[in-house]
Chains A and B, each alone.
Chain A
Amino acid sequence: MTTEVKQVKMKDLKALDPRWCTGCGDYTMLVGVRKLMVKDQMQPKDTVYVSGIGCSGRIPHYMNTYGFHTIHGRSVPISTGVALVRPDLNVFVASGDGDSLSIGGNHLLHGISKNIHCVYMMHDNQIYGLTKNQTSPTTRKGLVTATSPGGSIMDPINPIRFALGLGATFVASTAEWLGQHFVDTIEAAKNHKGFSFVHVAQRCPKFNPAAWDFQNSDWINFLDHENGVAGDTKGAPDAKVVKHDPSDLEGAFSHSENVPNVFGIFYQKEKASYDDLMRQAVENTPKKDPSKLLDGFAL
């Protein structure tokens, strides 16, 4: 059988016109993922973009791949089903900070710990955007929101620590406005076998413009390593660049103290994915004759 593989171009990846607010970081993420697909010639027919609910949840509609815009917090269950039965597909997951760490926390926990093969992008704008300005699990202490008129009283959850603590096999953080760093990071995530957890700093000009100071870069620390992703000193000229080997778990925990001001690959290791193990278990089971299905129940 000869299959003609079509050259993938940026314009092929456009679907509906996005409906995000002007200046929303989701636009740059959308372009970044398209760039990766063109760069690595990922076939749209073999790519499934799964999302939860929120502004991030809309991304599949704007990508001309297969897509599944699911329900709030539940992108991982759908992705798990897809990954278990279709190892031939590339699965991208888009989820926001509330979607990931509030309503979908249990699923994210199990997606990470089962090491389901997918690229999980947590769009972190530190606010509930689509529901209009409520405190999220990553909202910084003191931020005034519709549900915290006196300022948020809680310390935000550290998503990197969450992932590292669960034994994630790929943990990274990047920022959507750092185009090169973003594409490099999700490319490394895509090439990793298992659950690639990528925290993405994402701008919300409407409700939380102060979350990420994208016009300055002196607050940014890049984790740089030959086995990781190079620090993006062009996009962030004033950033500090520190060496960190992604196989160093202790170092990863130590750097995670400074989250969300650290971008790069915190940790990466090889480990069998649940979906691979499950398929192997089925494949290794000696097969029985389906026409004798009920013979074992004979009196």
Chain B
Amino acid sequence: MATQKEIMRFELIMDAGNGAQKAGDILIKAFAKSGRFVFIEPLIPAEISPPKRTPHSMSGAVIRVSTNELSNMGSTSDLMLFEHEILLERRLKDSDYTIGGLVLLDMADERRAKDAYAAVIEEAKSVGLKVISFNMDDESVAIIKELNGNGKNMYYLGMMAAIYEMPEEYVAGLIRQVFKKLSEEKLNKNLTIYANGYKNALEVCPETFDIPKTEKSMTDSILLDGNTSLAMGIIDAGIRFYAGYPITPASSIMHSLSKAFPAYGGMVHQAEDEISAVGAMIGSYYAGVPAVTATSGPGLSLKQEFIGLANSAEIPSIIINVQRGGPSTGLPTRTEQTDLFASVFGTHGESPKVAISVSNVEDCFYVPHVARYITEKLRAPVIILSDYITSVSYKVLEKLPLLELDDINDISDDILARFNIKRLPDTIEMVKDNQANPGVPDKMRRVTGLNTDASGNVVYSSESNQRSHDIRNEKLEVVRRALTSPEIIGAPTGDLLLVCWGSSRGVVEEAINLANQEGIKVSALNFKIVYPLPTMLSEIFKKFKKVVTIEVAFGKENKPTEFSTLLRSETLVDIGLGLAQATGRPLKPKSVLARIKDLV
């Protein structure tokens, strides 16, 4: 008998290289296509395929499914399937499970680790999990052997499909689509394993679940992840040149564009390093072709000198930074919101620049348009801040209206409003009067990092240097004045205001809903543009007794996070420590709720 649940989170955890991500992708598609909303967090090692049967080898898909729209990963998993006991032991340490939740454990390795299996099962039970052990059938084991150890993921996929009451043939159809390049023989073997998993799940698992389909029409819906959305947004924003260097988790933007861009007249240049990538992007924009580069933390550090040059030389430029855990290589496959200062203040010298964050997959699509609008208006760099969890999370969306932007002035007010900004003035003062692109007769000019006067000539006078700073900073003031209030979730006055930005928005929104259900009143303020900050902030803050930030960043008493430091310094309001966790994993709505209860 199926238990109806409107929302559930489950995970499939295997050794890296065994296909957990692939099985997860098929499951996401199955749920989305059949009318459910999904959100996903891939758990992948920073290495490729670490030795199997080690804790380092953990690779999996955490999938949240719901009848209603989802904005975040949620708090804990209700059902977890593990390939072996070491992965279960590793995952228990994260305390990401729902007490009373189900663990499905493949016992295939038990003969080589009897004691370990017994100990882990005991441990799982002791924390309140129900453990169901299972073995694959002999036929599947034999086929997997024939496939050199591949195909286990299809068995687990079959189990999941059965447990979630999906029609067997429906998911089989998706498998055929995903593996269309496989030979008929191999495909059939995979399908047999899948079918066996499907059949056997119902024998071992006493419970199945039915997540009701949404009543909304999904006919016009699309399924998109954050980085693909950014890539498509780049095309729609009229950008025609991308330069990049491989770095996780930004690379998939370059992968998507490498495939799609040429069909829309765009070019992808894989540069020899991060510095060269930003340089080529600036070169393209200098020559008159809108361009973008994308990177992650370490790459941003390397690009800084060029970003400063673009600011001084007044060349538009767009830099996407998909934030990850750091510093250094840090946690390349985990999420963090800790590059705010590096983005806004990272460049040497006094070099103000705009930073725009994205809160979801829709924002990812439209942020290139807004970045292009602002950078071409100001002729100053704009940094886009995404993060790992946004970059990889899939979302079911209503088909997004396209802009096919050519002239930046044709950007729609709606898109600007999404980022809480109004149209900028028609004319904005530049350091240099002549801003012609190469090829324009009689307008020849030289751009440089050296200080210049209005004619563009190199000048070192004190007056002139001060003038350049004034003008560059005034450009940011122009943006500041165009900013409208950040989005307020809940009432505009009250006891507690949670301030967030980027991917934390969804988690905070869900926590507020949970709090409301318990009769606790709390509001949130979500920022898209994180620099400059709008003028009315202190007024907003003053209407609350307590203001705290909620971020995936490190903070503790006497060490505010970057964002709260910024807010404090600009508003002189005592912004407190809400939740500042730099675990590398997204925040949990339940942790935010617990913190709300502490604070009210």
Contact = CB atoms under 8 A, between A and B. Distances in A.
B446 A60 contact: yes
Interface in A106-150: 106-107, 109-110
Given A45-B441, A77-B279, A294-B232, A299 B263 contact: no
Interface residues of A, number: 50
Interface string A279-292: 10110011110110
A63 B218 CA distance: 61
A106 B274 CA distance: 12
A48 interface: yes
Nearest to A65: B444
B269 A69 contact: no
Contacts of A16: 457-458
Most chain B CB inside 10 Å of its own CB: which residue of A45, A67, A297? A297
A68 B286 CA distance: 9
Contacts of B265: 282, 287
B438 A89 contact: yes
Nearest to B281: A81
A85 B269 CA distance: 11
B306 A81 contact: no
B306 A71 contact: yes
B39 interface: no
Contacts of A71: 305-306, 309, 449
B256 to A, nearest CB: 11
A61 B458 contact: yes
Q: Which of B272, B278, B445 lies at the interface centre, i.e. has the most chain A CB atoms within 10 A of its CB? A: B272
Interface residues of B, number: 66
Interface of A: 15-16, 44-46, 48-49, 60-61, 63-71, 74, 76-82, 84-86, 88-89, 106-107, 109-110, 278-279, 281-282, 285-288, 290-291, 293-294, 297-299
Contact of A110 (B228, B272, B439, B446): B272
Contact of A282 (B235, B266, B281, B396): B266
Nearest to A297: B222
14 contacts: A45-B439, A60-B448, A69-B448, A69-B449, A81-B291, A82-B438, A84-B284, A85-B291, A86-B438, A88-B439, A282-B265, A291-B402, A294-B402, A297-B224
Contacts of A80: 269, 271, 276, 279-280, 283
A297 B227 CA distance: 13
Given A61-B448, A77-B271, A288-B263, A84 B221 contact: no
A81 B284 contact: yes
Contacts of B309: 70-71
Contacts of B402: 290-291, 293-294
Contacts of B137: none
Contacts of B285: 81
A77 B275 CA distance: 8
Nearest to B280: A81
Contact of A66 (B241, B438, B448): B438
B187 to A, nearest CB: 23
Contact of B446 (A15, A88, A290): A15
A78 B235 contact: no
B287 A290 contact: no
B236 A74 contact: no
Given A84-B241, A299-B33, A69 B450 contact: yes
B430 interface: no
A299 B398 CA distance: 10
A66 B448 CA distance: 11
Interface string B242-283: 010000000000000000011111110101110111111111
Interface string B397-420: 001101010000000000000000
A67 B445 CA distance: 6
Contacts of A290: 235-236, 264, 402, 404
Nearest to B305: A71
Contacts of A44: 444
A285 B287 contact: no
A109 B273 CA distance: 12
A50 B223 CA distance: 44
* Chain B contact residues: helix, strand, loop or mixed: mixed
B149 interface: no
A67 B447 contact: yes
A299 B396 contact: yes
Contacts of A63: 446
A288 B264 contact: yes
Contact of A293 (B235, B241, B267): B235
B14 interface: no
B32 interface: yes
B174 to A, nearest CB: 12
B384 interface: no
Nearest to A19: B458
B444 A77 contact: no
A67 B434 CA distance: 13
A78 B283 contact: yes
List the 8 closest pairs (A to B, CB-CB), nearest first. A81-B283, A77-B279, A67-B446, A285-B262, A81-B280, A69-B448, A77-B276, A297-B222
Contacts of B443: 45
Contacts of A81: 241, 243, 269, 279-287, 291
B331 interface: no
B445 A77 contact: no
Contacts of A76: 276, 279
A48 B288 CA distance: 13
A103 to B, nearest CB: 10
A86 B440 CA distance: 13
B287 A82 contact: yes
Nearest to B264: A290
A69 B282 CA distance: 12
A177 to B, nearest CB: 26
B68 to A, nearest CB: 16
A273 B504 CA distance: 46
Nearest to A290: B404
A281 B443 CA distance: 32
B132 interface: no
B276 A110 contact: yes
B293 to A, nearest CB: 10
A84 B266 CA distance: 11
Contacts of B286: 68, 78, 81-82
Given A82-B284, A85-B289, A299-B218, A294 B400 contact: yes
Contacts of B458: 16, 61
